[in-house]
Amino acid sequence: MLNVLLERSSPVPGSPGVRGLGATSDTWHPMARDLAAAGARLLSLWVDRQPEKTAVIAAYLCDRAVLVIQSRLPANEETYPGIAELFPCAARMQRAAADLTGIRASDPDSRPWLRHAAWPAAYSPLAAPNEDYRPAGTPTADQYPFVRVSGDGVHEIPVGPVHAGIIEPGHFRFSIVGEKVLKLEERLGYVHKGIERLFTKTKLLEGHRLAARVSGDSAVAYSWAYCQALEGMSRVAVPAHASWLRALALESERIASHLGDLGALGNDAGFAFGIAQFSRLKELWLRELQAALGQRYLFDFVVPGGVSRDSDRDRLVKLTGCASMLAREAAAIRTIYDEHAGVRDRFAGAGTVTADLAKRLGLIGLAGRASGQDFDLRIDLPCDPYGELAARKYVRDEGDVAARVAVRFDELLESLRLVSNIATHLPPGDPRVGIAVPPAGSAGIGLVEGWRGPVMVALSAGTDGYVARCRPHDPSWQNWPVLEHAVIGNIVPDFPLINKSFNLSYSGHDL
């Protein structure tokens, strides 16, 4: 059936391998059931509510393509068949869509996800983009109905939403016996950034700047995905020189994140040597990156039609030298991590997600590859220039903290190799070409493998050069629910370590 669906679909502008297909209210759920039976993964689900039409849209990762299915709802219809029993990760996406648009799934869990009583239940921020809601007074906090666990010796530990560290807010409700976790339930979305609504007030040719700020540690991935969708809609071919510099920036972002996380994981295991060394290496990398590309963190480096600035050969040579040094030192520290009895004891067996569970819950990206999920967009659905770069994929089956650390080390070393390869063989050409505003009504999909996993941006053009709808999707939507399962049976003090081994985005989840 999957082949039949793909054969009936048509290309969608933007990322290569994206196909589109229409559905009706009657075929929406059967199509999802057939895709689930064929082993497809749900990438994202959202609702596009415009004055002239309302549609529920889902993007599925298949082996050979991304299939985007759109079901247009009949006039005055405000519900659609839920698919959470087929794809568990859909539950929060459906709840978020209901908060933003007022269009609800038929699934039984209808608790608010993003709203937090910050606006009235009858108000939908994306249902009437031109109508601003201004609260009168301070909104009353809602009584969120967490799932309760009862029994002898069971008690709860509420953590957050305000934390002791400088991180974004998130609430974690633990049900425990002794120190063993029986259940964890998360609640996110406390900032109410309003990013999807802000996109509707943004010019199409300026939206990449907002996209880069959806989740700041994935700025390159989001801005590239946005530009990819926009360039597909405008039928613009990006120069090879620019696409190679984009890849260099994306791998540099991956390197910085992995260096930081590997140090933090050592620290959470009580090994201060790890965070000291990796903090030093990360700082060296960021300084060299600033010298080569003009910024430590590459906000606004990827722009429509290419990149915002070029780099000269001498600076790229120095960046290559730094990458080689980091590879040697990271390999040496990896040996220390592997041979340190205390670190091994904390990492091995903690926060295990089996391959079967990972597949059933839709775990993706780096965490998915540590649990046997053999998928990486750079290899499986490569955009330029990854078809030429021949990136290597690293997969493990153990699914514990140790496996996620091992995949981080492997991908860090691979990204350092790719940066050296790009810097050495960068093709000549222009860093940027002009791009026209796409016509109203056009739509596109951008898809880039960020350091956490697939980052997707679905974009549609409105009138007067503005965005009609932009749906940015972070892989954390899939992976946060899996964290709730990963901690079951572990002791409470191991939660920070397990949580850091996933290192999911709060910001990318708060739209």
Tell me: the pLDDT tens digits for 341-352? 999 999 999 999
Q: Pick the more confident residue, 133 or 121.
A: 121
The residues near 339 (Cβ < 8 Å, ≥ 6 apart) are none
The share of the chain scoring above pLDDT 70, in percent, equals 97
Q: Which residues pair with 470 in a beta bridge?
A: 459
Q: How confident is the model at residue 64 (pLDDT cuts 50, 70, 90)?
A: confident
- Residue bearing tokens 């000291």: 276
Q: What is the pLDDT of residue 130?
A: 60
Mean pLDDT (the chain) is: 94
The fold of 2-105 is Beta Polymerase; domain 2 (3.30.460)
CA atoms of 323 and 110, how far apart (whole Å): 49
pLDDT at 137 over 70: no
* pLDDT value of position 9: 87
pLDDT (0 to 100) of residue 38: 94
pLDDT recorded at residue 393: 97
- For residues 83 and 45, give the distance between their C-alpha atoms in angstroms, rounded to a whole number: 10
Is 101's pLDDT higher than 90? Answer: yes
Residue 166: the pLDDT is: 78
Integer CA distances (angstroms), 440 to 114, 190, 436, 462, 503, in order: 29, 33, 12, 5, 38
- 10 Å CB burial of residue 410 (0-12, 13-18, 19+) is buried
Strand partners, 345: none
Confidence at residue 484, expressed as pLDDT on a 0 to 100 scale: 98
Lowest average pLDDT, out of 5-14, 198-207, 297-306, 341-350, goes to 5-14
Which are the contacts of 328, defined by CB distance < 8 A and separation ≥ 6? none
Angle, CA of 412, 169 and 109, to the nearest 5°: 100
Residue 138 predicted with pLDDT over 80: no
Confidence of residue 334 (pLDDT cuts 50, 70, 90): very high
Peptide bond into 161 cis (omega under 30): yes
What average pLDDT score do residues 375-384 get?
96
**What per-residue confidence (pLDDT) applies to 403?**
98
* pLDDT tens readout for residues 487-503: 999 999 999 999 999 99
pLDDT grade for 142, boundaries at 50, 70 and 90: confident
Q: Report yes or no: 35 and 60 within 8 Å, Cβ to Cβ.
A: yes
Residue showing tokens 């790229």 = 316
Is it the case that residue 455 has pLDDT exceeding 70? yes
Task: Note the pLDDT of residue 4.
Answer: 78
Q: What percent of the chain has pLDDT over 90?
A: 85
pLDDT digits (tens, 9 = 90+) for 219-275: 999 999 999 999 999 999 999 999 999 999 999 999 999 999 999 999 999 999 999
Better-scored residue on pLDDT, 141 or 297: 297
Question: Does residue 85 carry a pLDDT above 70?
Answer: yes
- pLDDT, residue 344, reads 96
Q: Cα(310)–Cα(293) distance, rounded to whole angstroms?
A: 7
| Residue 410 one-letter amino acid | D
Residue 70: DSSP 8-state: E
- ∠ CA(480), CA(217), CA(443), 5° rounding? 80
pLDDT over 80 (residue 298) = yes
Instruction: Break the chain into its structural domains and give their ranges.
Output: 2-105, 154-187, 195-509
Q: 283 has which bridge partners? A: none
pLDDT at 131: 65
Whether domain 195-509 has CATH 1.10.645.10: the reply is yes
Which range among 160-164, 196-200, 400-404, 500-504 shows the weakest confidence by mean pLDDT? 160-164
pLDDT tens for each residue of 401-431: 999 999 999 999 999 999 999 999 999 999 9
